[in-house]
Amino acid sequence: MQDTQDQTPLWQQLQGAATLLLAVRGGRSMTAELERVPPHLRPGVQALGFHALRWLGRAEALRQQLASRPPPPEADALLCVALALASEVDESLYTEYTLVDQAVEAAKNSEDTRHQASFINGCLRRFLRERDAMLAICERKPQAVWNHPQWWVDRVRKDHPDAWQSILLANNSRAPLTLRVNTRLTTQANYLQTLQDNGIDAAPVGEYGVILDSPRAVTRLPGYAEGLFSVQDAGAQLAAPLLLNGLEAAEGQPRLRLLDACAAPGGKTAHLLELADAAVIALDIDAERCTRVQKNLDRLQLQAQITVADAGLPDRWWDGQLFDGILLDAPCTASGIVRRHPDVRWLRRPTDIAQLAAQQTRLLESLWPLLRVGGRLLYCTCSVFRAEGEQQIQTFLMHHTDALLKPSPGHLLPQSRAAGPVFPDNLLRDYDGFYYAILEKRND
C-alpha cells in the first residue's frame, strides 16, 4: 500500500474523479470531460477516474448495501469513487486511513457534498469493518463481478460463448502504451535501440509496433517531434497491411489511389502512407477532427488530401475516379477498446448496437460503388459485437454478388498480458478488440 505521492492533495483528485463519474452518468464522454480538468490535476484525476469506471459495478453494489437509497448524485459519485479504491482486493492504492480522511475532506470542500461528509465517512468506515461480508455478497451479482452493465455481459456471452469471460477480464485490465514506428524515417529495431539508449524498456510487437513496459508521457519519448512514431494499438496496426497486401494500382495509373473513410484521428491514414506510395484521400465528417489528422500527418512528414464530408454521401465529395482500395473504419460501439476507454461500457445502451449497425450498412452501400473491379475494401470496427462485424458482412455478401470475402482475421478479441490467454508470438500478444473483413470486387 502507499499513500498519495503527488503534491496535489488526494481530496482534490477524488473530487475530480467524482466529477468525471458524474459526467459519464450524465451521458458525456470522459475524454471530453478530462479536457475541463486543470492540467496540474489531470494525470491524477484521470488515473482515479479510470480506476473508478473499471470497478464501478462492484462499487455500486457496495453502495447499495451501505445505503437503502442513493444519496444525492454528487455525493454518490464521490462515495463510489472511494469505494472503488477501498475495495481493491489485490493492491490498495492508499492506506485505509488516508482514503477515508481524504474522501471526507473532498466532501467538506464542495458545496454540493458538504452536508454529506458524515454520511460518506460512516459508509466508508462501515465498509472497512464489514469488507469480507460485503464483497462476498457482490460475488453473487454479475454486474459487480464483471464490472459491466448486465446487458453488455449477456451480449458478449451470447456472441462469444467460449471467450466471454476472457473478453470481460481483458476489458478491466490496463492497456499498454503501444507505438507504431514510422518506417519512412526509421525501423522497429533502430527505434527499440533508441529507447534502450534512453533507459526505456520496450519490446517489439508485430512488424511495426513497440510496447513500452510502463506508461510514459508520449511527447517526451525520443523521436516524437521528429515523427519517428505514432501511438497505435497492436490490433489497429493490422489495418493498413491488410488493405495493401498484394494490392496494385489500376492499369495505367502510376500509384495506388486510396480512400480512408472515417479517417480521424489519422492513425490508419498515416500507416497507409508509411507503407505505400499512394494518393490517399482522408475523409471525415468532423472538421475539428480533420484538423487533428493534418497535425498528425505534418509531424510524421506525410501528405494526404484531407476532406471534410460525410462518407455516406459521395455525391458531395467524390470526383468520379474509382479507388483501388478503400479503408472503412466504421463508427461503432467501441466495445473492443473498453480497456482504453472504460467509460464506453457505461455510456452505451443496448439500442446503440442496431443504430450503429444501420450506419455501418449505409456506409458500406455508399462506398462499394466507388471501388474499381479488382480493388479491395477493408471493413473494420473496434467492436466485439457480431452485429457490427460478422453479421454485418454476411448480410452485405448476400446482397452483393460482386463481393468476394478474402481470407480475413474476422473478430480479433481483446487480449491482455494481465488477463486471459494470450498468443505466444509477438504478433498478437496484447491488443484491443477489432473486426476485419477484406472484400474484393469482382465482375458481377
Catalytic residue numbers, as ranges: 382
**Which stretch of DSSP H or E encloses residue 23?**
helix 10-25
Q: Classify strands 256-261 and 323-329 as parallel, antiparallel or unpaired.
A: parallel
- DSSP secondary structure letter of residue 386: G
Provide the 3-class DSSP secondary structure of residue 209.
strand
Taking the C-alpha atoms of residue 344 and residue 31, their distance in angstroms, rounded to an integer, is 10
Rounded Cα gap, residues 326 and 331, in angstroms? 15
Query: What pairing do the DSSP bridges indicate for beta strands 229-231 and 305-308?
Result: unpaired
CB 385 within 8 A of CB 338: no
Q: Phi, psi (5° rounding) for residue 93? A: -80, -25
Residues 6+ apart with CB under 8 A from 38: none
Q: How far apart are CA 407 and CA 106, in angstroms?
A: 55
Residue showing cell 505514432: 230
Looking up cell 498515416 gives: 270
Instruction: Give, rounded to a whole angstrom, the gap between the first and last alpha carbons of the chain.
Output: 65
SS3 of residue 174 by DSSP: coil
Q: Which residues fall within 8 angstroms of residue 43, CB to CB, at 6 or more apart?
A: 6
Closest residue by Cα to residue 183 from 195, 193, 191, 175? 191
Q: Are 72 and 22 in contact (CB under 8 A)?
A: no
